A = this chain, B = another copy of it.
Amino acid sequence: MKNFIDLTEDLDLHKLVQEAQTLKKDPYAHEALGKRKVLGLLFFNPSLRTRLSTQKAAKLLGMEVMVMNFSSEAWAIEYEDGTVMSGLRSEHIREAAQVVSQYCDIVAIRAFASLTDQEKDESEIVLRSFQKYASVPIVNMESATAHPLQAVADAITLKEHWPSHKPKIVLSWAPHPKALPHAVANSFVKMMASQEADFVITHPKGYELDEKITKGVPIVYDQEEALKNADFVYVKNWASYQDYGKILRTDDQWMLTRKKLEATNHAKFMHCLPIRRNVVVSDDVMNHESSLVIKQANNRTYAAQAVLKRILDNE
């Protein structure tokens, strides 16, 4: 693997999940692989799971890690070409990316969507600019439109709980007081494309995701209808995509509750975390044994480890 930017067909997700599961059984089996290799983690946004699980994955492979909170510890970055840099930004991505490449063997980057400039967000200006100018592999730790490490962890978690029948899997929008990006939902939808499942998306009208991504996936505007017979319910808030970055409603009608889950086929509950209890989902869902959220977080380590291993193996 050269870079890990998004879920693509090349990736062979099923093989990657298998590799992650093999690593999970014996995490230190490839401890020598990363010897003398340095992973740089560049954060433009907060991070708990990604920060720790990716570091952990690197250490399991024997790599050294250098962590930088880019926004606060380094210089503000200019991404546009040809600008007169007389404002607040004191370093251009062309230099920053080339320079960082020289100190690291792999560079992983987190840079959320602005949710104010759709064009810039869709161009993945931060991640793609690093990729363009870097001379080493780039790993996406959540970009404006995609969170593929989360989707790989979700695929591992789904596989660990896969039923004997073809399951019904529902991605349900949920309310949230702040405008959140589409990255996790997008990557979940892309990941589902390779799963043998009945996959349905449910959300209020106006919350349609990018149809280039959801094309062909049934969208049900009635949450109760969508949840019927579900085996897995993946809950996530996102801001409006059409009315880009806007919050259209904050009432609690779409909050997932235990009562709603009782109308499913004993559905497992999934979420990427962090999650706001009693806003996105009620306590009785979070505290129920059917919640897989802690397991998903644990699988972040092995998702990252499988990705880093492939890059180190140059396979």
Interface positions of A (Cβ within 8 A of B): 28, 36, 38, 40, 43, 46-49, 51-53, 55-56, 59, 64, 66, 68-69, 72-75, 78, 81-87, 89-92, 94-96, 98-100, 102-104, 177-178, 273-279, 283, 286-287, 293-294, 297-298, 301
Contact = CB atoms under 8 A, between A and B. Distances in A.
B64 A100 contact: no
Given A66-B52, A82-B283, A43 B73 contact: yes
Contact of A48 (B74, B84, B294): B74
A91 B52 contact: no
B283 A103 contact: no
Contacts of A66: 52, 55-56
A82 B282 CA distance: 9
A48 B86 CA distance: 20
> How many copies of the shown chain assemble into the complex?
3
Given A59-B38, A274-B91, A275-B91, A177 B86 contact: yes
A210 to B, nearest CB: 24
A85 B278 contact: yes
The residue among A51, A95, A273 with the most chain B CB atoms within 10 A of its own CB is A95
B301 A84 contact: no
B85 A68 contact: no
Contacts of A52: 40, 66, 68, 100, 103-104
Contacts of A99: 48-49, 273, 294, 297-298
Given A278-B85, A294-B102, A91 B55 contact: no
A81 B282 CA distance: 11
B48 A59 contact: no
A102 B59 contact: no
Nearest to A293: B95
Contact of A279 (B73, B82, B84): B84
B47 A278 contact: no
Contacts of A279: 84-86
B286 A94 contact: yes
Nearest to A299: B102
Nearest to A273: B95
A189 B278 CA distance: 42
A301 B105 CA distance: 14
